[in-house]
Amino acid sequence: TTSSWSFMGLKEGKRARRNNLIESDTIIGVIDSGVYPESESFSGKGFGPPPKKWKGVCEGGKNFTCNNKLIGARYYTQYPDSARDLMGHGSHTASTAAGNAVKHVSFYGLGNGTARGGVPAARIAVYKVCNPGASGCTTDGILAAFDDAIADKVDLISISIGGDNGSPFEADPIAIGAFHAMGKGILTVNSAGNSGPEPSSVASVAPWIFTVAASNTNRAFVTKIVLGNGKTIGRSVNTFDLNGTKYPIVHGKSATSTCSDDAARLCSPGCLDSKLVKGKIVLCDSVQNPEVAKDMGAVASIVKSQYAEVAMIFSFPVSVLSEKKYNTLLSYVNSTKNPKAAVLRSETIFNQRAPIVASYSSRGPNTIIPDILKPDITAPGSEIIAAYSPDVPPSLSDTRHVKYSVETGTSMSCPHVAGVAAYLKTFHPRWSPSMIQSAIMTTAWPMNASTSPFNQMAEFAYGAGHVDPIAAIHPGLVYEASKSDHIAFLCGLNYTGKKLRLISGDGSICTKEQTKSLPRNLNYPSMTAQVSASKPFKLTFYRTVTNVRKGKAATYKAKVVGSKLKVKVVPEVLFMKSVHEKKSFTVTVSGTGPEADNLVSAHLIWSDGVHSVRSPIVVYAAN
Amino acid sequence: ADNEQDKQVYIVYMGALPARVDYMPMSHHASILQDVIGESSIEDRLVRTYKRSFNGFAARLTESEREILASMDEVVSVFPSKKLKLQ
């Protein structure tokens, strides 16, 4: 966060417009691995007492003290009985969403800046559901955390937890918890998952959950390697300085006396011979086992990774190369008598092309509800510096203790959107969860598929695009979906009779019309439909927009961008006389279905000359 | 009789909390559980209750007990508690 907020236009301190009074009254519930309460990011200095609406408690267990910033703590894990963060992850996400602004933060001098949350004046309530190792994050604990967070009256829930794929709602604890949160006006922001770039890998699939993909920012950590014949650039967060000294290079394959070539080239555990690697730089064809070379006395390692677009922390000097660069290096080694190289200390560069959706970020289409686009939005998730727990090593077999560390994943992009949602809510305290979600989606920066080889999934990779906190304050129009709209949506999915009656809590029953309604007609800010491959199709989306622009009337005209689909919007002009006025329209899309496993997309933009309300329209053919 | 290793933690989701002011979630959960397991003491079966914002509980159940619960009128779904991951 020392650079991600500025990257997306949310400037530091007084340079960003804020509603401090309401921001200070905002409470973000973070369901994660707890926090390190002594972190400066959670200091209560300068904060008044908790907001009056707060119904929670500080039950963080032994040796856990709350304050007026960290106003609540509960844990649902066993031994130790504490909400203290034993993984670093919860401290990182909580400080990204709502951490204090802490100046001069860096990771051993790298990535220096002010670590801050999206809403530094807001309060944090901690719900610890994860412990390291086999304990993991139990779903019975996660559901208990939702039960408490909703009743404690948090304004928003951030949860960077998920499974490997989607589940039916009635067996998905995050969907269940988020549904009841939505019913109480609480938006749940959830990470999309790190199983990308596989299609249909997104695990957060419910329309009442705001699902966040991850992208990079313009800042990157690079670790140069100086070869005998010139330089090359790798990725890592290497804070170890070998003073530019060149060391002999040996490939894992040539440094074994016990394993096959295939195992040795990967530097698999037990394969490297210390006599052959001591004092050298070891080349490994995989990023999986860097510590093996270190344990055998290597001074550094250069590894190959399919996804070398993200820098990670290692416990000794490592540089990660893409396949192409690694192979160049290998041919240098194989063609040179005494190959040598130097692995330099990392640097930060600020001209990386961004935002590009991360290869690891889970993709759609939505396996549970094919006609609801997931993920919804993209935010910075790669190489984020934020609070950490000094009780936890920053990387495998690392002896260092840090209060701020670099983490990567949709776990990091999720709290960025939670912070933006909370920021938005300080300007529009009465907006419902769907209005907040709509405002962020329809004002997102457009992203495109051409900027990275992994992007061929386009909107299934980045949803509506990259979050833009400032534009989201004034979206012009929003797509609202109330609890009853979601109940009708469930009717269309055959949640009838007992299930619906119990879930709704008000004895709802489905009308014949609702039972026949299509999921794609939920009033969602994006429009998605699965069609048959390579066959003609014609389908209609029904939508309603609410005018949220105060003051004078406005005339919105429809425009469709992206030519491959034939799109007809009726009516094409919406005249909005007053704020909160609603107008409905239809979007009829026709054409020939794309080939299997492909999508074709366009964007519907309602514009009044001031606001641009942009919604993706995605038509795809599953395999 | 089902022995210990046949049991696993299941989540019993019962939907929204009934609006009735006299509704006592915990005694309702206890009576359901006692009916199903046929024992008065539910101590070592009940793992958690959900009673503040929605209705349900988590308990150690056998597969056959799970089936009985899932068919009950006041139960939406019964599914195993799993381990999810930080992302």
pLDDT digits (tens, 9 = 90+) for A573-594: 999 999 999 999 999 999 999 9
Residue A115 and residue A4 in contact, taking contact as beta carbons nearer than 8 Å: no
Confidence band, pLDDT 50/70/90 cuts, at residue A19: very high
CB contact under 8 A, A161 and B87: yes
pLDDT at site A232 = 82
Inter-chain CB proximity A136 and B83 less than 8 Å: yes
In the numeric block, the tokens 């009940």 are attached to B46
Helices (H) and strands (E) in chain A — how many of each?
A: 16, 31
pLDDT at residue A450, rounded to an integer: 63
Q: How many residue contacts between A and B have a Cβ separation below 8 Å? A: 119
For residue B1, pLDDT over 50 is answered with: no
Tokens 């009033």 locate to A523
Residues of A with Cβ-Cβ distance to B73 under 8 angstroms: 498
- Asked if B20 has any chain A CB less than 8 Å from its own CB, the reply is no
Q: What is the greatest pairwise CA distance in chain A?
A: 81
How confident is the model over A326-363, as pLDDT tens digits?
A: 999 999 999 999 999 999 999 999 988 999 999 999 99
CA distance A563 to chain B (A): 36
Residues in CB range of A54: below 8 A, 6 or more apart: A27, A71, A72, A123, A152, A153
- In angstroms, the CA B8 to CA A615 distance is 44
- Contact assessment for residue A137 and residue B59, using Cβ atoms and an 8 Å cutoff: no
DSSP per-residue letters across A395-436: STT-----SEEEE-SHHHHHHHHHHHHHHHHHH-TT--HHHH
Residue A126: predicted pLDDT = 98
Is A190 touching B (CB cutoff 8 A)? no
Token representation of residue A215: 């992208």
Secondary structure of residue A375 in the 3-state scheme? coil
Q: Which residues contact A437 (CB under 8 A, 6 or more apart)?
A: A187, A210, A376, A421, A525
Looking at residue A396, its amino acid is L
A192 touches A184 (CB < 8 A): no
- CB proximity A130 to B under 8 Å: yes
Q: Is the pLDDT of residue B24 over 90?
A: yes
Q: What mean pLDDT do residues B18-36 have? A: 94
Q: How far apart are CA A540 and CA A85, in angstroms?
A: 49
Q: Does the beta-carbon distance from A171 to B83 stay under 8 Å?
A: no
Mark A385-404 as b/e (b = at least 16 C-beta within 10 Å): bbbbbbebbbbeeeeeebbb
- Gyration radius (Cα) of chain B, Å: 13
Return d(Cα A395, Cα A208) in angstroms, integer.
35
Residue A306: pLDDT band with limits 50, 70, 90? confident
Least CB–CB distance from A411: residue in B11, B55, B87: B87
Picking from A33, A76, A135, A140 by the largest number of B CB atoms within 10 A of its own CB, the best residue to mutate is: A140
What share of chain A has pLDDT > 70, as a percent? 99
Helix axes A173-183, A139-151, angle to 10 degrees: 10
Secondary structure of A594-610 as H, E, C letters:
CCCCEEEEEEEEEECCC
Q: Would you name the residues of A annotated as active-site residues?
A: 32, 89, 411
Among A429-438, A520-529, A549-558, the range scoring the smallest mean pLDDT is: A549-558
Cβ–Cβ of A163/B82 closer than 8 Å? yes
- Kindly give, in sequence order, each residue whose CB lies less than 8 Å from that of residue A288, ignoring residues fewer than 6 positions away: A266
Neighbours of A297 (CB within 10 A): 15
Each residue of A479-534: pLDDT tens digit?
Answer: 999 999 999 999 999 997 888 888 888 878 899 999 999 999 999 999 999 999 99
Taking the C-alpha atoms of residue A408 and residue A375, their distance in angstroms, rounded to an integer, is 17
Flag the least confident range among A270-279, A444-453, A484-493, B51-60.
A444-453
* Joined tokens for residue A253: 């394959």
Residues in Cβ contact with A623 at an 8 Å cutoff, skipping those fewer than 6 apart: A596, A597
Which residues neighbour A269 within 8 Å (Cβ) at sequence distance 6 or greater?
A: A289, A292
In chain A, residues 399-428 whose CB comes closer than 8 Å to chain B? 409-411, 414
Give per-residue pLDDT as tens, A100-158. 999 999 999 999 999 999 999 999 999 999 999 888 999 999 999 999 999 999 999 99
Mean residue pLDDT of chain A comes to: 95
Residues A463 and A211: beta-carbon distance below 8 Å: yes
**Which A positions 476-505 lie with beta carbon below 8 A of chain B?**
498-499, 501-505
- Whether B11 sits inside 8 A of A184 (CB atoms) is no
Answer whether B86 touches A (CB < 8 Å).
yes
> Residue for token digits 């092309």?
A353
Say which residues have a Cβ less than 8 Å from residue A272's Cβ, sequence separation at least 6: A252, A255, A256, A264, A282, A292, A293, A296, A298
Q: Do A176 and B16 touch (CB under 8 A)?
A: no
- What's chain B's average pLDDT? 92
Shortest distance between the Cα of B52 and any Cα of chain A, in A, equals 6
Task: With a cut of 80, say whether residue A231 has pLDDT above it.
Answer: no
Instruction: Say whether A191 and B87 touch across the interface (CB within 8 A).
Output: yes
Q: Which residues, at least 6 apart from A421, have a Cβ–Cβ distance to it below 8 Å?
A: A156, A187, A189, A210, A436, A437, A440
Provide the pLDDT for residue A539: 97
- pLDDT tens digits for range A463-493: 999 999 999 999 999 999 999 999 999 999 9
Q: Which residue has the tokens 């969860």?
A: A433
Q: What is the pLDDT of residue B4?
A: 55
> What is the rounded average pLDDT of the residues A38-53?
98
A185 CB within 8 Å of a chain B CB: no
Say yes or no for a CB contact (<8 Å) between B54 and A180.
Answer: yes
Among B residues 22-41, those touching chain A with beta carbons less than 8 Å apart: none
For residue A467, give both structure tokens: 């979050």
